[in-house]
Amino acid sequence: MTATDVLLVEHPSDDIVVLRLNRPQVRNALNLQVRKQLAEVVLRYGADAKTRCLVITGSDTAFAAGADITEMAGDGPVEVMVRNVQQYGQTIMNCPKPVIAAVEGFALGGGLELALCADIIVAGDGAKLAFPEVKLGILAGGGGTQKLARLVGRQRAMLLLMTGRMFSAAEALAMGVVGEVVPAGQALTRTLELAREIAAMPPISIQQIKEIVNTGLNAPLEAALMLERKAFQLQFATRDQKEGMKAFLEKRKPNYEGK
């Protein structure tokens, strides 16, 4: 384990990296320092051939309780623009490796936006989620309005964004905001199980799935189907495709190399 003052980097195995937010005194509120360090670490491990999956988590009581208001309360629009915190979330979204968020406790505002940068969210059933920015005279500005509307539809998104009300993990699952809900305190355990399962899959296929799903969601159906078709065809140039099909025919477990 490597520690900084705001982020812990853990290696449960050679191919899985856990990034743990570590600002317990402010319920893991996201200041510029933690945003930068998180993006830098994701960038580093995203380029590491040995890494197959990244996990982002917080504590048992708070994934991240939003942006650090003390950093922005007195700012004007130019200061906010120059700080450009959105770039750090974009780095996580663009990571070529799968990213899973393990959420316990509060995931509010920028904390929920951070979780939504992940490919999969696993939430403990005691998790509380919200975009409460409207109560502070602002709005979700790190992708929250657009991602939420795409996930839950215009009507529910408007309700949640305009009231800033909290919703439960069960509600989040029903709306499609999270991928799986587990008993409180078990989110990281379950996430590591999923990470190990995904890490055992062919890395090129996983990378292509992530790319075509994310790109295809914002493209016309015909264009998205074309992306899928080309990605499918590309798999037949990989050694992992040959290994996977050979292992299936030989009734054994495949060994994927990412080649």
Residue type, 154: R
Buried b (16+ CB within 10 A) or exposed e, 47-59: eeeebbbbbbbbb
Q: CA–CA distance from 36 to each of 6, 39, 46, 111, 199 (Å)?
A: 10, 5, 15, 14, 26
Residue type, 173: L
Q: Which of 70, 67, 69, 116 has the alpha carbon at shortest distance from 90?
A: 116
- Residue 147 CA to chain centroid, in angstroms? 12
Q: What are phi and psi of 104, to 5 degrees?
A: -125, 150
141 neighbors 86 (Cβ within 8 angstroms): yes
Q: Which of 37, 70, 69 has the alpha carbon at shortest distance from 56?
A: 37
Crossing angle between the packed helical segments 154-163 and 144-152, to the nearest 10 degrees: 140
List the strands of the sheet with 120-124, edge to edge.
2-3, 7-13, 16-21, 53-57, 99-103, 120-124, 180-182
Q: Considering 79, 104, 113, 197, which one is annotated as catalytic?
A: 113
- For this structure, is 133 an active site residue? yes
Q: Considering 10, 71, 104, 133, which one is annotated as catalytic?
A: 133
Annotated catalytic sites, by residue?
113, 133
